[in-house]
Structure 1
Amino acid sequence: MKTTTTDTFVSLLEKHQNIIHKICRLYTNSQDEHNDLFQEITIQLWRAYPKFRGEAKFSTWMYRVSLNTAITLFKKAKRQIETQSFDKVEFKIKFEAYDDTVEQQLSQMYKALHTLNDIDKALVFLYLEDKNYTEISETLGISEVNARVKMNRIKKKLREILNP
């Protein structure tokens, strides 16, 4: 049985759909907005799929298209992006001893993250997803050096906010 382009795309989309859900959670506040953004990202991925050359991993390409779609969609709407609390986004962070102190520190960190602009939030999101700087730069369409510099500035800014 021959696999079609559509079958391949659907298979890859199903395999990596959590990427889209995480981005939707990051850039929306309600389930309806989440569903709308998920649909829009899926449409953009389908439209862009014929141009996917396989030079990067599919997931890296998917991050880039998804983040660009989310950011562009909200910029076109000329409205302030209301981001959802980072504590509702599932990052690959495991805590051995989860207590009130850790919860309080996380709460402070999430508040600090809300002060970042959309691109910086995307960079932090990818960093917390354990992406290396090469993957981050490919996803965001910036140089690896720029990604490192931006991340260092973000870390410094977050330290200043958290440790005045």
Structure 2
Amino acid sequence: MDPQLEKQFVTQLEANQNIVHKICRLYTHDQESHNDLFQEITIQLFKAYPKFRGDSKFTTWMYRVALNTAITLYRKSKRRIKTQDYDNVMFKIASTDYDDTIEEQLKLMYSAIRQLNDIDKALVFLYLEDKPYSEISETLGITEVNARVKMNRVKGKLKDLLKV
């Protein structure tokens, strides 16, 4: 990769790494798995960055790659997630500490979200990130109307799950 392009990528990733951490939190249950998934998403983003055309915002593209990577690995997690050795990657990302000790309500919400199917998890994540339905539909590859209908149904599912 061109050094200038690599520098742009690292700058963008460092500025938006919380997106990846949030996705990792949705699809993992412990810190080691979180770290492994973060690493794998970072590698996939790095590999895909030269093909990023800028047709959408960097964060929209980042959501799509990160969610696709997480969903793919989550589905394969019946086995162990395979990751590449971080030391073999040419760049180093300054990682901010991710506080896993969050209040009880947030833990309950994440627990309920984990019970949803993969697409519904991604939908809730983007909704909680205050993404407009137009961006949610673009990221997930569904129509805007479908995104709204699915979100209303998911809200009902989450209310039921949180009543238990």
Same fold (TM over 0.5): yes
Q: Which has the larger radius of gyration?
A: 1
Against the structure 1 CA distance between its residues 111 and 47, is the aligned structure 2 distance closer, same or farther, given a 3 Å change threshold? Answer: closer
Paired position in structure 2 for 1:157: 157
- The percent of aligned pairs where both chains have the same amino acid is 69
- SS at the partner of 2:116? coil
Against the structure 1 CA distance between its residues 150 and 7, is the aligned structure 2 distance closer, same or farther, given a 3 Å change threshold? Answer: same
Q: CA deviation at 1:149?
A: 1.5
Provide TM-score, normalisation by structure 2: 0.74
Paired position in structure 1 for 2:24: 24
Paired position in structure 2 for 1:148: 148
Alignment of 1:4-153 (within 5 A): 4-78=4-78, 109-110=109-110, 112-153=112-153
Against the structure 1 CA distance between its residues 35 and 110, is the aligned structure 2 distance closer, same or farther, given a 3 Å change threshold? Answer: closer
Contact 1:64 1:141 in 2 (8 A): no
CA distance in 2, matches of 1:17, 1:105: 24
Cα RMSD after superposing both structures: 2.8
5+ residue gaps, structure 2, are: 80-99
Q: CA deviation at 1:6?
A: 0.7
Paired position in structure 2 for 1:98: none
5+ residue gaps, structure 1, are: 80-87, 91-102
- SS at the partner of 1:4? helix
- SS at the partner of 1:142? coil
Matched positions, count = 144
Q: CA deviation at 1:159?
A: 4.0
CA distance in 1, matches of 2:29, 2:162: 25
Contact 1:28 1:34 in 2 (8 A): yes
